[in-house]
Amino acid sequence: MGVCIYVDGNFYTDKEKATISVYDHGFLYGDGIFEGIRAYNGRIFKLKEHIKRLYQSAVSILLTIPLAPAKIEELVIETCRRTGEKDIYIRLVVSRGKGDLGLDPRKCPKPTIIIIADKITLYPPEKYQNGVSVITSSIRRNRPDTLTAQVKSLNYLNNILAKVETYRYGADEAIMLNDEGYVSEATADNIFIIKNSNKLYTPPAYLGILEGITRGCVMELASKMGYTVIEEPFTTHDIFTAEECFLTGTGAELIPVIEIDERIIGDGKPGKHFKKLLAGYQELTRSEGVPIC
């Protein structure tokens, strides 16, 4: 399968040749931002929305992206085109750039722009068919007043620590709580639960979640399908007693949760509401997007 990587004006098809400086502050300090994007059947899904969020993250951390959004969009399309593939995972990264060994961002005169067009597999196919098990992590989500989740930053250590805990307990994923004990999100995905058959619940942004683009798609789809979509705080007890639960994210797409902390959710199988929403989402990804060629 074809791979293409753009780094500051150059395209590479050899992963080993696509390099950055060890003095890049994205590498040294996690000082940067990113977006994960997908292309389906030759169309890049929600490209403009992802680029808009990238620039919003940049504003929040006082990072000036040296190219206009239209140019970034053009580069993403060209990087994808050079893979020769139709189904692609894209990682768009903007770091503070090369500086010195100090923290001072003023020592980084030029941000580094990287676009990786490759594949991603977060879960094996059988997990999408049979569902995943999750635990409640002891690692609390960062408070919004310390590092807001609305900035999709390169600093993912909070999430990684929860992911490490996941594997230590033999689970597939972890649910992270905020500092008050409310459910926020999984390590890299948003969470939804179904209650009372037609009510779809998801945590609100102020609980320390990233307002995911896949999350937004699912909420819009659900509303059109007649579900009542509710953004309000809930606890793990609400997941224990939910009819269905599933996670959403660009990388994972939609994946059902069948067990949390050794409690079986619903009948322990992916539910009819999840399947209905998944079918709607898949139809969207097949029919919408910016053409690669």
* Strand pairing class (112-118; 88-95): antiparallel
Q: Which residue in this structure is represented by tokens 């994007």?
A: 37
Distance separating alpha carbons of residues 224 and 238, to the nearest angstrom: 24
Can you tell me the distance from the alpha carbon of 23 to that of 100, in angstroms, rounded to the nearest whole number? Answer: 6
- Structure tokens that stand for 281 in this block: 């989402």
Catalytic residue among 46, 98, 152, 163: 152
- Alpha carbon distance 99, 86 (integer Å): 37
Burial of 22 (0-12, 13-18, 19+ CB in 10 A): exposed
Separation CA 70–CA 54 (nearest Å)? 13
Using left for φ > 0, alpha for ψ between -120 and 50, and beta otherwise, residue 196 falls in left
Nearest to 154 by CA among 261, 28, 53, 272: 28
Environment class of 146 (CB within 10 Å of its CB; exposed 0-12, middle 13-18, buried 19+)? exposed
Nearest to 245 by CA among 180, 173, 164, 178: 173
Distance CA 83, CA 226 (A): 40
CA distances from 230 to 60, 205, 254 (A): 27, 12, 18
> What distance in Å separates the CA atoms of residue 218 and residue 193, rounded to the nearest whole number?
12
Does residue 110 have an active-site annotation?
no
- Residues with a known catalytic role: 152
